[in-house]
Amino acid sequence: MASTAGKVIKCKAAVAWEAGKPLVIEEVEVAPPQAMEVRIKILYTALCHTDVFFWEAKGQNPVFPRIFGHEAGGIVESVGEGVTEFAPGDHVLPVFTGECKECTHCKSEESNMCDLLRINTDRGVMIGDGQSRFSINGKPIFHFVGTSTFSEYTVIHVGCVVKINPEAPLDKVCILSCGISTGLGAILNVAKPPKGSTVAIFGLGAVGLAAAEGARLAGASRIIGVDLNPNRFELARKFGCTEFVNPKDHTKPVQEVLAEMTNGGVDRSVECTGNINAMIQAFECVHDGWGVAVLVGVPNKDAEFKTHPMNFLNERTLKGTFFGNYKPRTDLPSVVEKYMTGVSSYLVS
């Protein structure tokens, strides 16, 4: 058992005191893990746009002071009562959504939306007792999506922790705990493009690049990247994109441009921007009869999706996905192994 087990740990954390104000490096106290919780030493953490979105707090409930961060890798420091599958020293990825393995969603082969542990951006405390494990001079500091990885130590519910191969480089695979898995799974688990098909990727950020890699792995013959920023095209080509469309370069709607390029529409599309117009374009650009569009991005809370019902009646399919339909504890270890064996080396290199 680690020498710090059962004790409060003092460490550094980046604390957001107010919405949109610079984070401040503070000394925080991190309480020991309670029942079904794990305390983790965070070795590497990445920055996801979702952190920025909730730090700005422009379209959602502000919960401050708070410790953000949810893409990370670390090592288990100690475990709480009832935790049997983790031990100090285990290499782990914290995940913003969880898998209790007991609810109807977890028992379903079709869903990864755990009733107990699905993402809750408003909750700033632990599920078990409704308390925070972070404090400064006795004042609670709130959690973020159950992970709060912008801290040298954090406490996480056991259902949101994934044990991985200790040989995996945590500085690389930490980004599999959010964006990369989301994009990869959107293709491999949801869109499922047949070999030789044509795929359009809307948005070529990290999630879109992962989706492009997924399309390449699936054997798509054409992978069309759609983005307003042409500076992203060169990198996206390394991830599998074969051609590009910048909507700014065209006077007609981009869905019409894509339909002309592909003899009626693409076989599959994945939207990775969160922009409602891109979502509509991604749906309307797929081929009638068999086309499938998958929405990944998180829209503004007031956004509305509008399209003509005939687009559905003409046998186009619209799907959404959450975390690429991966069940964190069940599926993520194998995604790490894909990286380790070189199948998706571009993703985290």
Task: For residue range 271-311, list pLDDT tens digits in order.
Answer: 999 999 999 999 999 999 999 999 999 888 789 999 999 99
In this prediction the pTM is: 0.92
Q: Spell out the domain ranges in the chain.
A: 9-177, 182-322
Average pLDDT along the chain:
95
What is the predicted pLDDT for the residue at 343? 61
Q: What are phi and psi of 223, to 5 degrees?
A: -125, 105
Task: For residue range 211-233, list pLDDT tens digits in order.
Answer: 999 999 999 999 999 999 999 99
Query: In terms of DSSP bridges, do strands 222-226 and 198-202 run parallel, antiparallel, or are they unpaired?
Result: parallel
Question: 288 CB contacts (<8 Å, ≥6 apart)?
Answer: 264, 265, 314, 315, 316
Q: Locate the DSSP E strands across 216-348.
A: 222-226, 243-245, 268-271, 292-295, 317-320
Measured in Å, how far apart are the chain's first and last C-alpha atoms? 34
Tokens coding 258: 């894509």
Task: For residue range 230-269, list pLDDT tens digits in order.
Answer: 999 999 999 999 999 999 999 999 999 999 999 999 999 9
Task: For residue range 100-132, list pLDDT tens digits in order.
Answer: 999 999 999 999 999 999 999 999 999 999 999
Query: In terms of DSSP bridges, do strands 37-46 and 71-79 run parallel, antiparallel, or are they unpaired?
Result: antiparallel
Q: Do domains 9-177 and 182-322 have the same CATH topology?
A: no
Q: Which helix (H) or strand (E) holds 183?
A: helix 179-185
Burial grade of 97 (CB within 10 A; 0-12, 13-18, 19 or more): buried
Vertex 146, ends 144 and 148: CA angle to 5°? 50
In whole angstroms, give the CA distance from residue 128 to residue 150: 22
Angle separating helix axes 254-261 and 276-284, nearest 10 degrees:
30
Q: Which CATH class is domain 9-177?
A: alpha beta
Confirm or reject CATH 2.160.10.10 for domain 182-322, answering yes or no.
no
Q: Locate the DSSP E strands across 198-348.
A: 198-202, 222-226, 243-245, 268-271, 292-295, 317-320
* Residues paired with 164 in a beta bridge: none
> Nearest CA to 78 among 31, 29, 117, 124?
31
What is the predicted pLDDT for the residue at 307? 97
Asked if omega into 309 is within 30° of 0 (cis), the reply is: no
What is the predicted pLDDT for the residue at 348? 46
Question: What is the b/e burial string over 135-148, where b = at least 16 CB atoms within 10 angstroms of the residue's CB?
Answer: eeeeeebbbbbbbb
**Could you write out the three-class secondary structure of 26-72?**
EEEEECCCCCCEEEEEEEEEECCHHHHHHHHCCCCCCCCCECCCCEE
Cα dihedral 210, 213, 215, 219, rounded to 10, equals -160
Task: For residue range 162-206, list pLDDT tens digits in order.
Answer: 999 999 999 999 999 999 999 999 999 999 999 999 999 999 999
Name the CA radius of gyration of the chain, rounded: 21
In whole angstroms, give the CA distance from residue 24 to residue 16: 7
